[in-house]
Structure formats: structure tokens, C-alpha cells
Chain A
Amino acid sequence: MGKITLNQVRKSFGEVDVIPGIDLSVEDGEFVVFVGPSGCGKSTLLRLIAGLEDTSGGIISIDGMDATDLPPAKRRLAMVFQSYALYPHMSVRKNIAFPLKMAGMDPAEQEKRVSHAAKILNLGAYLDRRPGQLSGGQRQRVAIGRAIVREPAAFLFDEPLSNLDAALRVSMRQEISELHQTLKTTMIYVTHDQVEAMTMADKIVVLNAGRIEQVGSPMELYRSPANLFVAGFIGSPKMNLIDGAEADKHGATTIGIRPEHIDIGGDGPWEGVVGLSEHLGSDTFLKVNAGTLGTLTVRASGEVMMHHGDSIRMSPQPGKILRFGADGKAMA
């Protein structure tokens, strides 16, 4: 079981309110991703849940029990750190067994669990090496191994992939997702990378300046962002945000349209001059200077060949324009 509930949880460092007050509920077995720009308080929030920081107010409960004042060890949570935080003086085997040893578990049972974890994570061949002799991806797996042997109520991940190179990041992302499918344990995952958030999460929590901007499934956030911040943060390349006369036409202060929702060619209502075209092979991203609309990013198919200076016409796909009011919130 691993249901985590935050009730008006606050954190301030001295005078500064890092987290002014958060309510959130994480269901058992859910994969929840905290995402937001650096300094938004997502790591602090995770550390509050872990018990590595004291809350300044509010209640954290785990499986219905008040855990606000419990020390980290008593919360039945396991954490994977950004730097992996492996014990450099212990072999992989001892690293993974450390939490079991701390719990005073019988050595035979320890050994059983370690080999089980090693099998799941493909670490069998490395059990007697030191962390220093492993690659980044292998270290990451050891860190995960150390977390899973305890069979915790929930896993906490603090930007675990940010030290890996791009290719490894993709495969580790899949491994963690598969692990979640297998274990069906609650996972809370912190990242600043919205791609990780979109691909892994059951539920995304978008944080900004210590506040929750929106909570929802990846597609909900993609289709109907609650406000301009989420609109701008989720999706890559970023959503085009247009204000002024064009927005007025739709009765909004700002309108948003995703690059993939703009068609080019024909006799679309918007026109512009291509500034830059990035050919990725499968897709082509065009930066179009569209006069009063500003610079628009447009996604076209990979076969479209456009060059700097070409004039084009564009039309937004029907029903894909999002409208935002003066307060930045989405309009119905």
C-alpha cells in the first residue's frame, strides 16, 4: 500500500516561503511526476515527503497515518537520488543490502532479496564490484536496486536521469516505467524535463514558485492546460501564444496554438516569412515571422522543404485554439 496525502503542507526557509501551502493526494500504485522549472520547489516537496526536511506546517500522511514528524527511516519510503548517492566503499551487493542490514534482517533473507533485485535489474554480474567501477546507467540501477529490496510503500525519485547522456536517458526512462508496471508500487518522480513527465506519468503535477499550477494526466495537460504557465511548459516545441488583435477575434486576452496544429499552404488566414527551418528527418520545425502575430513555431512533415525567406500561408486547425483570459487562466 502506498497512498500519500499532503494537507496544506508548507515550507519556509527563514523569511522565504518556498512552498506556501500544498494539497495533493497520490493514490496507491500511481506514477506521479512533479515537474516544473528549476527552483519551483519540486525537490523540496519531495524531500518533505521523504522526511529529509521538516515541514513548516501542514500534515503529510502515508496510508492514512500521520507521518509529518516521523524520521525518514520510519516512513517506509525509498529514494533514488540525482547523484545516485551510492556508498563508494561498499560493493554493489553491500550497497543493495544496506537498508536490509539496517533493518536487522536475517542474512539469508538479505541474500535472497539482493539476488532477486539483481535479477530484475540485470546486475548479477556486477554484485562484487564497487560503484566506482560501474557506468552511469549501472550505478543508477544499483540505486534503484537499493530502493526496491526494502519493498517500500512508495519510491521517490529525485531527477534520477539528469546525470546520464541522452541515449541512456531514454532507455533508463523505459526501464523505470517497466519497473513500475512490474512492481505496481507508488512512485513519485521529480524532473524538470517535461518529456520525462509526459512519457512516464499516470499523473503530472506542474509546480511553479511552490504552487501547484495543475494536476492531471499527461493528455489532459496537453489538451487543456489550465493556464498560460502549463500551456507554455508542457509540449515540445512550445505552444505558440498570441495576443493582441488576433486574440480579441476569439474573445480572449491570449490564444494558444500548438506547432503541430498549424497547417501550412493553401490559403490560410495567417501569412509569414520563414526565418529558420530545422529538419529533424521525421519532422520539420519552422520558425515563421508572422508580422503582428509574432514569431510562430510550426511543425510540418519531414518532407516539407522550406528555406529562409520563403513566404507561406498558414491556417490553425479547427477547434485546436486555446483561449486564455486576462488572469492567465483558460477560458471555457
Chain B
Amino acid sequence: MARKASNTRKAVVTIAAWSIGFLIFFPILWIIILGFKSEGDAIKTPLQVLFSDWTLQSYHDVQARSNYGRHFWNSVILSVGSTVIALAIAIPAAWSMAFVPGRRTKDLLMWMLSTKMMPAVGVLVPMYLLFRDFGLLDSRIGLVGVLTLINLPIVVWMLYTYFKEIPGEILEAARMDGASLKSEILYVLTPMAVPGIASTMLLNIILAWNEAFWTLQLTTSQAAPLTQFIASYSSPEGLFYAKLSAASTMAIAPILILGWFSQKQLVRGLTFGAVK
């Protein structure tokens, strides 16, 4: 049992931890604050910024550019769509590897992970040309496919580690009870793995939402998600701090909340179960 730490020590640690936590969080805090300031105030010194008036003007302006909504929906469709498709492919695959392991299962998993190591840039040219020739450039369908494929190894790995923890006897019991393979996966495995599937889903939505190589290369406007929308501010428009901040806040807020919500599962997921 832990002993009671002295209160002085606890106070020192508290101050240190909060200061560092504040420092790390500060850039995010700062864009949230700047988003509620006028353009004129946003470029002043930090103290002046803090004591200037608050306004929703920048949010109105960003809304007025009107394409924010489209980019937001593109982000939602791309991240949720690619994750759901990846799950549909990965659940049966993970079932196979977790409950009917063969001699090659470990190798297969390692190979899947290794496809994740292939640098995207190595296939940039052919992907670009394929997309161009099939008319998929700037289309959501093409990008959903690519995001599905790049996240598939991680989805399989995560589900595998979660499934491994479900005792095989329960699935055997279902088999003895007369369940077909479909019923076994649908009525027994999936409901039992709901927490694992949910966190896999969350993590992959986050990764897909923030993916910024293929989304930048393969979209321009129609299918462009928020990564592209924000990247457009890298031009001189970036100097409009307040609008940039408001837009950034809107781009990261949904995922930040989702991320906080799932941070525990995130660790297990991203380390493929190697750290619990």
C-alpha cells in the first residue's frame, strides 16, 4: 500500500506538473483564445490580446467562406467511412488470427505492420497517376479507399490484441450450442469485443481525420477534408490570425474531444497491445 506522501512534496509536484501541462497545452489554448478576438487585436502582444474584447466575428467570417461545412463533412465521411470499411474487413481477419492461429500467424501480423512502414512517398507517383486516370482525383471514394488501406494493418492488429483476450472456450460453447460461424461472430464475439472495437474505431477515426499526406496530395477542393482547408491558410491568408484560429479550433475540436474521451484505449491501440 502506498504511503502518504508529504503535502509539501505533493504541492511541489502539483505546481511542476501543472506548469508543464500548461506549457504543452498553451499553443492550443492560444488558438482558442485568438479565435474569439478581432483581427486587429489578435496580432498584439500576449497581454494586450488577453485584455482585449471578445468577439464571434471570426467564426462568422469563417462560416461566410461557406466551404468550412463541406470540408468538415468531408473529414467526417473520410474518417468514419474508411474506419467502418476497415473494421468490416478486419473483424473476420482478426477472428481468424486470434482463434484459429497457424504457424504463420505471427509472420502475417508482422508483414501487415511492415506495409505500414512503406513510405507513402514511394508510391506517390503511381497513386497520383492511377487516381488521375480513373478520375478519382479530388473524389471522396478514392480517398476513402486509400485511408482504409493505410489504416487496415493497425485496425487488424488492434482487434487481434483485443480478441486474444476473449477466451476461446466461449466461442466453442457457442459452436456447441449450434451457432453458425456467422452467428458466432455476430451474437457472441462482436458484443463481447464492443469495448475493443469501439476504441479501435475511435483511434482510427483520429488517425484518418489527421492524415495529411494523401489528403493533401489527392484532393483540391470538392473532396478536400479539413487538413486541406487549413493548409490553404499557409498562404498570406495565414496572417489573418483570428480567422485562422477560429478555423483551426473548429478543425481540431471534434477530434480533441474524441481523443480525450478515448485516451486510455489509445495507448493499448497504438502499441498493438505491447503496453497495457
| CB-based contact B191/A85 at 8 Å | no
Binds A, one of B5-13, B47-55, B169-177, B199-207: B169-177
Closest to B173 in A: A85
Q: Give which listed residue, A79, A83, A86, contacts B176 with CB less than 8 A.
A: A79
Interface residues as binary, B169-213 with A (CB distance below 8 Å gives 1, 0 otherwise): 110111111111001000110011010000000000000000000
Closest to B171 in A: A85
| CB-based contact A102/B179 at 8 Å | yes
Interface residues as binary, A88-105 with B (CB distance below 8 Å gives 1, 0 otherwise): 111000000011001100
Is residue A73 contacting chain B, with contact meaning CB distance below 8 A? yes
| CB-based contact A52/B191 at 8 Å | no
Is residue B236 contacting chain A, with contact meaning CB distance below 8 A? no
Q: In B130-172, which residues have CB < 8 Å from any A CB?
A: 167, 169-170, 172
| CB-based contact B176/A98 at 8 Å | no
Q: Which residues of A contact B183 (CB under 8 A)?
A: 102
Closest to B168 in A: A85
Q: Which residues of A contact B187 (CB under 8 A)?
A: 98
Q: Which residues of B contact A81 (CB under 8 A)?
A: 169, 172-173
A98 and B172 in contact, given A87-B188, A89-B191 (Cβ under 8 angstroms) = no
Q: Give which listed residue, A71, A89, A146, contacts B175 with CB less than 8 A.
A: A71
| CB-based contact A103/B178 at 8 Å | yes
Min C-beta distance of A258 to chain B, whole Å: 38
| CB-based contact A50/B192 at 8 Å | no
Determine the distance from Cα of A155 to Cα of B56 in the docked complex, in whole angstroms. Answer: 71
| CB-based contact B169/A73 at 8 Å | no
Interface residues as binary, A68-87 with B (CB distance below 8 Å gives 1, 0 otherwise): 00011100011101110111
Q: Which residues of A contact B180 (CB under 8 A)?
A: 73, 102
Q: Give which listed residue, B167, B170, B176, contacts A73 with CB less than 8 A.
A: B176
| CB-based contact B178/A85 at 8 Å | no
**Size class of the A contact interface (CB-based, 8 Å):** 20 to 34
Q: Which residues of B contact A102 (CB under 8 A)?
A: 177-180, 183
| CB-based contact A52/B178 at 8 Å | no
| CB-based contact B177/A98 at 8 Å | yes
| CB-based contact A83/B175 at 8 Å | no
Min C-beta distance of B22 to chain A, whole Å: 41
Q: Which residues of B contact A82 (CB under 8 A)?
A: 169
| CB-based contact A79/B173 at 8 Å | yes
Q: Which residues of A contact B167 (CB under 8 A)?
A: 83, 85
A87 and B192 in contact, given A81-B169, A81-B173, A102-B183 (Cβ under 8 angstroms) = yes
| CB-based contact A85/B172 at 8 Å | yes
| CB-based contact B170/A52 at 8 Å | no
Min C-beta distance of B148 to chain A, whole Å: 28
| CB-based contact A77/B179 at 8 Å | no
| CB-based contact B192/A88 at 8 Å | yes
| CB-based contact A85/B179 at 8 Å | no
Closest to A156 in B: B176
Min C-beta distance of B168 to chain A, whole Å: 9
Interface residues as binary, B89-113 with A (CB distance below 8 Å gives 1, 0 otherwise): 0000000000000000000000000
| CB-based contact A99/B172 at 8 Å | no
Q: Which of B169, B183, B194 has the most CB of A within 10 A?
A: B169
Closest to B183 in A: A102
| CB-based contact B175/A72 at 8 Å | yes
| CB-based contact B169/A77 at 8 Å | no
Closest to B170 in A: A85
Closest to B188 in A: A87
Q: In A232-253, which residues have CB < 8 Å from any B CB?
A: none
| CB-based contact A99/B192 at 8 Å | no
Given contacts A50-B176, A98-B174, 14 further A-B contacts (CB under 8 A): A72-B175, A72-B176, A73-B180, A78-B176, A79-B176, A81-B169, A81-B173, A85-B167, A86-B173, A90-B191, A98-B179, A99-B177, A102-B177, A102-B179
User: Sorted from nearest, which 3 A-B pairs have the closest CB atoms?
Assistant: A99-B177, A85-B173, A73-B178
Q: Which residues of A contact B (CB under 8 A)?
A: 50, 52, 71-73, 77-79, 81-83, 85-90, 98-99, 102-103, 146, 150
12 A–B pairs (Cβ distance < 8 Å), ordered by A:
A52-B172, A72-B176, A73-B176, A77-B176, A78-B176, A79-B172, A79-B176, A87-B191, A89-B194, A90-B191, A98-B177, A99-B176
